[in-house]
Amino acid sequence: MKQHSAEYLAWYKFLYVQGLTTAARKLIYQAICEKKITIEELFIISEFEFYEFFPDFGKGEFQDLKYQNFQATHTKEIQKRFEYLWEDTFFIPLNHPCYPQRIKQRLKADAPPAFFGRGHLPLVNNFNIAVLGSDEASPEEIKLTWRLCTHFVRCGYNVLSNHSWGISEHAHKSALIADGTTTSILAGGFYDFWVRKGIQVHGYEINSFFLSAVLPEEISSIEKYEERAKLLAAWSEAVVIVKSNFFKDQKTDAHGNIAAALFALENKIPVFLPSKKILNRSSGNLEISHAGGIDFNHPKEITSFLQRQH
């Protein structure tokens, strides 16, 4: 942990505020951006001043967000957690210069207030291509993943995926072996995190970065898999779904592959799928294809498409 300022402590406390809806967060972000209030002042102003800044809080749709919710974060436990974050963990609040800009631009008020990260911090603003797929992968699907990621890193892209088995693990390994870089978005916090051995042996400290929007003590859940899906798509120039199984993906760590693809398509981020010529179409990929996914036969088709877009 390298940032101990009062400002970052305030952002950290912000993560513990109860009743903080997206709409309420948007109002607070707007006030901070317009320099009407700072994040630190939010936790130390009087109750009278608080309701002068935010007269709607405590009423209607904001009824669960009150002055007392912010005051409740003044605890020794929260202070202790902030001070004792692991030495190799970065705390990246919304106004941090290394906060992923693509996520901020695309998600706007839905962007997480802060991230936690480990690894090579400069990778957060590289150009990413997300390579996603099921935990269970055939030899043909694994071979395709290696072809894709090797090509992407040679074209200067960073490979983005989750930190799971199957397609994701092979995406990271193949990119690193090709002397490229990778990033992972976690569905849980860092206290329950370990770097897979297949990634450790390839110098992950300088070639990889791991990002989590979840408090370090929290564990992964279906809801967090769905949130991760949006972050994966929002952080990418393109999303490639090697394989998504509609039923199995709902119950495993790969949950969210279809959600990531659909979110990307809704936000005009291109989504690519292996054509029938190179792989049998899985049930999830069939759904993504019907929603507007683009077939490809060779990785070059994806990078050529992106070059034309830029």
Q: In this predicted structure, what is the pLDDT of residue 253?
A: 45
Residue 148 has pLDDT above 90, yes or no: yes
Supply 71's token pair.
């005051």
pLDDT at 279 over 50: yes
What's 208's DSSP letter? E
Kindly state the average pLDDT of the residues 140-167.
95
Structural contact between residues 232 and 160, judged by C-beta atoms closer than 8 angstroms:
yes
Alpha helices per DSSP H over 42-87: 47-53, 67-71, 76-83
Q: Please give the share of the chain, as a percent, with pLDDT higher than 70.
A: 95
Q: Where in the chain is the domain with CATH 3.40.50.450?
A: 121-309
Q: Give me the pLDDT at residue 202, please.
A: 74
**What pTM was estimated for this model as a whole?**
0.90
CATH architecture for residues 121-309: 3-Layer(aba) Sandwich (3.40)
Instruction: Identify the pLDDT of residue 1.
Output: 44
> What integer is the mean pLDDT of 244-271?
79
Highest mean pLDDT, choosing among 200-204, 253-257, 285-289, 299-303 = 299-303
C-alpha span between 131 and 279 (Å, rounded):
16
Return the pLDDT at 196: 80
Collapse the DSSP code of 162 into the 3-class scheme (helix H, G, I; strand E, B; otherwise coil) and give the result.
Answer: strand
How confident is the model at residue 247, as a pLDDT?
A: 58
